């Protein structure tokens, strides 16, 4: 059954592990939004590999890996990532890159940094140029992967865009970027990527007609969605189910099942409200237990208790059929585990998730405390092998969030996953 895997929190839920676990059952794995702001950690032949734009399906021979047109592509970075994958012994012959994927150009990255360092807008972005590249799509100025394959057309299109950005930079007192060297490097990257460039919508439709099994690989998390996340502290794409359709050209009928990934606790990178955040010593402890440092930027992640109000919101937005709960083992040593079950705000208690960051910043979470299990879970492979307290924790989450748990991860290895057959 064609399956979508989506993050239900602020990214870093362990989607890389979930997709790697599932990908063996699929013929096609598709990235449909985001860019190299993502960092999907997968263990391959005992080695830790962080993928940024390449779909996690690349590790399975015979699995078609597709980067669809919803993804913003920095071609120099992608070339580097392809080269790294080849060094691991992967041929990547079956990688397809949409000609319609918007390009992240050097001035996008420069603008991201200028804005982040200004006092006007500090989001805590990954500084990769993601937001400005999507802005150009909305502003109808974007250049696309296909443009790289025709030098004359590429030069003709990038020149006025560079002028547009140079005027902006001049107003900010910033130097203009060096264009000629960038054009040469981008064209060279285009030549390298040329064999992979395709009409991925046509390719995916063909795959559907041939009844190939398709896995859609989400990046970031639902609470970072440009429309449904904690705006303005969000990324610039649809990280929710909507992104699958706008980002691939397939219809909702192409999706059979939605799998939502959540950690057993919560993390967030960058700025923005995080009601269940744990500060001080207990936060530091959880960060160390979970090794919570960014896969892309190395930044220490903010950590906190699982927020079930937010999780239920994400389940509803995406129509999640099953949960894939990760890093349950990180809580092994805790005597007591808290989960947020309501918010107090302006003298009222409720369990709706406010859409805007300003409202979310005002809420005070109401917690429910559950007993910990205080024993290592890393060796459990079946639900029955989990201690009663851990099962009670899972039951509470499923009940509150409104989706059953289909998978529980108890360690970083592929085998450290419990599959719960509830079909
Ligand atoms: P941008 O996507 O680089 O524009 O960053 C916008 C926000 O999304 C920032 O808070 C980032 O930390 C966050 N973000 C972007 N990509 C990821 C990710 O893959 N994991 C977690 N957070 C992310």
Mean residue pLDDT of the chain comes to: 95
pLDDT in tens, 192-210: 999 999 999 999 999 999 9
Cα separation, 178 vs 195, in Å, equals 28
Going by pLDDT thresholds of 50, 70 and 90, the confidence category of residue 303 is very high
The radius of gyration computed from the CA coordinates of the chain, to the nearest angstrom, equals: 21
Whole-number Å distance, alpha carbon 233 to ligand 1 midpoint, is 9
Closest atom of ligand 1 to 237 CA is 2
Residue 213, preceding bond cis, omega within 30 degrees? no
As a whole number, mean pLDDT of residues 270-298 equals 93
Q: What's the confidence (pLDDT) of residue 47?
A: 85
Paired with 410 in beta bridges are none
Whether residue 29 contacts residue 217, with contact meaning beta carbons closer than 8 Å, is answered with yes
Check residues 265 and 355 and name the one with the higher pLDDT.
265
Confidence at 48, pLDDT banded by 50, 70, 90: confident
CA distance 251 to 229: 23
The answer to whether the CB of 39 is under 6 A from ligand 1 is yes
Q: Name the residue of 31, 270, 294 to mutate for ligand 1: max ligand atoms within 8 A of Cβ.
A: 270
Q: Using a 6 Å cutoff on CB, does residue 292 contact ligand 1?
A: no
More confident residue, 294 or 136: 136
Indicate whether residue 124 lines ligand 1 (CB < 6 A).
yes
The ligand 1 atom nearest the CA atom of 224 = 8
Atom number of ligand 1 nearest to Cα 128: 3
12 Cβ below 6 A of ligand 1: yes
Q: Which residue has the tokens 């012994």?
A: 89
Residue 269 in contact with ligand 1 by CB distance below 6 A: yes
Half-sphere exposure of 193 (CA within 13 A, CB side): 32
Length of the chain counted residue by residue:
423
pLDDT recorded at residue 40? 84
DSSP assignments along 16-67, one per residue: HHHHHHHHTT-SEEEE-SB-TT--EEEEETTEEEEESSS-GGGGSTT-EEEE
Catalytic residue, chosen from 20, 27, 36, 40, is 40
Which of 37, 53, 266 is the best mutation target for the ligand 1 pocket, counting ligand atoms within 8 Å of the beta carbon and taking the most? 37
Alpha carbon 49 to its chain's center: 16
Lowest mean pLDDT segment, chosen from 344-353, 368-377, 400-409: 344-353
Q: In this predicted model, what pLDDT tens digit does every residue of 314-338 receive, in sequence order?
A: 999 999 999 999 999 999 999 999 9
In the prediction, which pLDDT does 153 show? 96
Query: What kind and span of H or E run contains 311?
Result: helix 308-318
What is the Å distance from ligand 1's center to 172 Cα? 24
The reply to whether ligand 1 has any atom less than 6 angstroms from the CB of 37 is yes
pLDDT for the residue 60: 87
The beta strand positions in 53-134, using DSSP E, are 64-67, 95-98
Distance CA 149, CA 168 (A): 28
Distance CA 273, CA 276 (A): 9
Q: Whose CA is nearest to atom 8 of ligand 1?
A: 235
Q: Which residues, in sequence order, are bridge partners of residue 2?
A: none
The per-residue pLDDT for range 167-195, each reduced to its tens digit, is 999 998 999 888 999 999 999 999 999 99
pLDDT value of position 232:
93
Residue ID of nearest Cα to ligand 1 atom 5? 125
Q: What was the pLDDT predicted at 20?
A: 86
CA of 121 to the centre of ligand 1 (A): 15
pLDDT at res. 321: 98
pLDDT at 357 over 80: yes
Q: Determine whether 108 is an active site residue.
A: no
Q: What are phi and psi of 328, to 5 degrees?
A: -60, -35
CB 187 within 8 A of CB 153: no
Give pLDDT, residue 419: 97
Ligand 1: residue whose CA is nearest its atom 11:
125
Alpha helix locations (H) across 328-367? 357-362
pLDDT in tens, 88-120: 999 898 999 999 999 999 999 999 999 999 877
Which residue owns the Cα nearest ligand 1 atom 19?
Answer: 38
pLDDT of amino acid 177: 84
Q: Which helix (H) or strand (E) holds 349?
A: strand 348-350
12 is catalytic: yes
Ligand 1 atom, smallest distance to 126 CA: 3
**Residue 243 neighbours by CB under 8 Å, 6+ apart:** 32, 33, 70, 218, 225, 237
């Amino acid at each position: 059954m064609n399956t979508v895997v989506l993050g239900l929190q602020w990214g870093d839920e362990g989607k890389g592990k979930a997709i790697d676990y599932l990908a063996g059952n699929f013929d096609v794995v598709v990235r449909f939004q985001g860019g190299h702001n993502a960092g999907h950690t997968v263990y391959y032949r005992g080695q830790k590999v962080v993928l940024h734009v390449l779909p996690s399906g690349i590790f399975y021979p015979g699995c078609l890996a597709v980067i669809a047109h919803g993804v913003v592509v920095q071609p120099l970075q992608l070339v580097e990532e392809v080269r790294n994958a080849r060094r691991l012994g992967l041929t990547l012959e079956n990688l397809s890159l949409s000609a319609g994927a918007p390009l992240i150009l050097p001035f996008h990255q420069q603008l991201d940094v200028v804005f982040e360092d200004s006092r006007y807008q500090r989001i805590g972005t990954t500084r990769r140029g993601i937001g400005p590249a999507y802005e150009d799509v909305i502003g109808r100025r974007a250049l696309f992967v296909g443009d790289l394959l025709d030098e004359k057309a590429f030069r003709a299109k990038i020149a006025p865009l560079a002028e547009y950005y140079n005027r902006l930079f001049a107003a900010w007192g910033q130097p203009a970027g060096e264009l000629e060297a960038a054009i040469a490097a981008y064209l060279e990257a285009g030549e390298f990527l040329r064999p992979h460039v395709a009409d991925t919508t046509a390719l995916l439709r063909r795959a559907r007609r041939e009844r190939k099994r398709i896995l859609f690989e989400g990046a970031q998390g639902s609470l970072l969605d440009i429309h449904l996340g904690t705006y303005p502290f969000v990324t610039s794409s649809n990280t929710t189910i909507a992104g699958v359709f706008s980002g691939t050209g397939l219809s909702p009928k192409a999706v059979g099942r939605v799998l939502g990934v959540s950690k057993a606790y919560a993390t967030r990178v960058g700025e923005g409200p995080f009601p269940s955040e744990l500060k001080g010593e207990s936060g530091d402890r959880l960060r160390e237990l979970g090794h919570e440092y960014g896969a892309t930027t190395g930044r220490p992640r903010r950590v906190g208790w699982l927020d079930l109000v937010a999780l239920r919101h994400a389940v509803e937005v995406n129509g999640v059929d099953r949960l894939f709960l990760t890093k349950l083992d990180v809580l092994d040593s805790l005597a007591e585990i808290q989960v947020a079950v309501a918010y107090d705000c302006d003298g009222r208690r409720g369990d709706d998730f406010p859409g805007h960051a300003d409202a979310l910043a005002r809420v005070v979470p109401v917690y429910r405390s559950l007993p910990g299990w205080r024993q290592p879970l890393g060796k459990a492979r079946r639900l029955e092998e989990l201690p009663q307290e851990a099962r009670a924790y899972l039951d509470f989450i499923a009940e509150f969030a409104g989706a059953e748990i289909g998978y529980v991860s108890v360690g970083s290895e592929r085998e450290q996953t419990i599959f719960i057959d509830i079909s």
